[in-house]
């Protein structure tokens, strides 16, 4: 199925505009025992306050800092693939905020949210990478929870073919309101709305809200196996698939080393995982899957190809430390899948 979309072909459109938490990651190698000692659930994201973040950081080893944030990673991936992408999310006017802002613009994404000039510092996520390459996250949301409807660049939202939301935003009342306002604007302009469920604990916190969204307001849903079974409170992936089928236009359900299943147009597409080298760090795997998927989707490619490009991008990012690809994703897509896009002309550039 080639997804139908409304006013395509307009040069001033952006392929994907995402709203998310603007976060700088601190990647630290840690032993499993550290997770146990600190009551951390492997693979999950826990919210911490600034004091807890400082205490944890103080007991961790040396880190590597890199821009992160789930939806921001997706936007960076789309820009690296050659797509026109924009990001909305809030940093503070501090050094980490400057790093975040630089990095997302450096890959060619549009990012204009004004930094906060007072209040909490830029959000940080302590990412503990265990020897099995799994990542466990402790996030201090800082300035990113201050995102509210007034921060929204509605002109940019209106240009979005796909407006992409990370479920993590639901942890902030103001950010959630900002997204709902944005979704209305995007849809009024013929755009589609995509949601990533982000994390199983996040789903637990906001199940009712997510269920309502998926039924009425979301065109494309991204979730992994744990998240989708948590959403429908079922015990198996198969049951979750039956629950979600038909509730939104497209559902892309990822299953780590088992690949992914894409539901859409009445069909199911089983997508093989891609292995490009030893597993180093799973940080960003879901984000980059969404990037590949959405990039192919906004180019009008069939769902099978969307899933395969998602798998390829996820397969690349897990071979390196950190959630932003250090290789040329466009070249990778050309070499591995024979996919090629024209470079953006200057009139098309965001």
Question: How many Å apart are CA 123 and CA 22, to the nearest integer?
Answer: 7
Q: At what angle do helices 285-298 and 70-81 cross, to 10 degrees?
A: 50
Q: Which residue has the tokens 């995982």?
A: 273
- Tokens, residue 85: 């992408």
For residue 58, state whether it binds a copy of itself (rule: CB under 8 A).
yes
Binding residue (CB under 8 A) for a copy of itself from 156, 228, 324, 339? 324
Q: How far out from the chain centre does Cα 313 lie?
A: 13
Decide if residue 62 touches a copy of itself (CB under 8 A).
yes
- Kindly tell me which of 122 and 196 has the beta carbon lying closer to a copy of itself: 122
Angle at alpha carbon of residue 288, lines to 308 and 123, rounded to 5°:
170
In terms of CB distance, is 142 or 307 closer to a copy of itself?
142
Please list every residue from 70 through 89 that binds a copy of itself, using CB under 8 A. Answer: 76
Residue 99 sits in the site that holds a copy of itself (CB under 8 A):
yes
Decide: residue 235, CB within 10 A, 0-12 exposed, 13-18 middle, 19+ buried.
exposed
Among the listed ranges 91-99, 180-188, 227-235, 341-349, the one in contact with a copy of itself (CB under 8 A) is 91-99
Whether the Cβ atoms of residue 92 and residue 116 lie closer than 8 Å to each other = yes
| Binding span for a copy of itself by CB under 8 A among 10-18, 33-41, 150-158, 320-328 | 320-328
Among 21, 35, 53, 67, binds a copy of itself (CB under 8 A): 67
Is there binding between residue 160 and a copy of itself (CB under 8 A)?
no
Query: How many residues comprise the chain?
Result: 350
Q: Quote the CA–CA distance of 102 and 89 in Å, as a whole number.
A: 14
| Residue numbers 15-34 binding a copy of itself by CB under 8 A | 29
Name the residues that contact a copy of itself, by CB under 8 A. 29, 57-58, 60-67, 76, 94-96, 99, 102-104, 106-107, 121-122, 321-322, 324, 326
């Amino acid at each position: 199925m080639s997804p139908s979309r409304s006013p395509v072909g307009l040069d001033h459109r952006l392929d994907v505009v995402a709203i998310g938490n603007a976060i700088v990651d601190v990647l630290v190698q840690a032993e499993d025992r550290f997770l146990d000692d600190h009551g951390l659930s492997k693979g999950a994201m826990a919210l911490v306050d600034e004091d807890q973040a400082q205490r944890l950081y103080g007991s961790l080893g040396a880190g590597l800092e890199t821009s992160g944030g789930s939806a921001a990673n997706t936007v960076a991936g789309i820009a690296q693939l050659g797509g026109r992408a924009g990001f909305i999310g809030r940093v503070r006017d501090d050094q980490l905020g400057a790093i975040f802002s630089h990095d997302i613009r450096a890959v060619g994404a549009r990012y204009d949210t004004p930094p906060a000039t007072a209040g909490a510092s830029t959000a940080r996520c302590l990412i503990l990478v265990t020897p099995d390459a799994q990542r466990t996250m402790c996030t201090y949301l800082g300035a990113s929870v201050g995102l509210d409807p007034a921060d929204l660049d509605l002109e940019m939202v209106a240009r979005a073919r796909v407006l992409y939301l990370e479920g993590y935003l639901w942890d902030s009342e103001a950010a959630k309101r900002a997204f709902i306002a944005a979704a209305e604007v995007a849809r009024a302009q013929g755009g589609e709305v995509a949601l990533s469920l982000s994390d199983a604990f996040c789903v637990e916190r906001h199940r009712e809200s997510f269920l309502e969204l998926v039924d009425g307001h979301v065109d494309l849903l991204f979730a992994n196996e744990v998240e989708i079974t948590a959403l429908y409170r079922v015990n198996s992936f198969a049951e979750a698939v039956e629950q979600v089928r038909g509730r939104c236009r497209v559902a892309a359900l990822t299953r780590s080393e088992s690949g992914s299943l894409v539901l859409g147009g009445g069909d199911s597409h089983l997508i093989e995982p891609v292995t490009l080298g030893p597993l180093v760090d799973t940080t960003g795997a879901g984000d980059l899957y969404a990037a590949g998927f959405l990039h192919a989707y906004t180019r009008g490619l069939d769902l099978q190809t969307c899933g395969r490009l998602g798998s390829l991008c996820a397969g690349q990012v897990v071979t390196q430390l950190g959630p932003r690809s250090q290789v040329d994703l466009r070249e990778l897509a050309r070499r591995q899948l024979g996919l090629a896009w024209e470079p953006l002309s200057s009139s098309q550039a965001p």
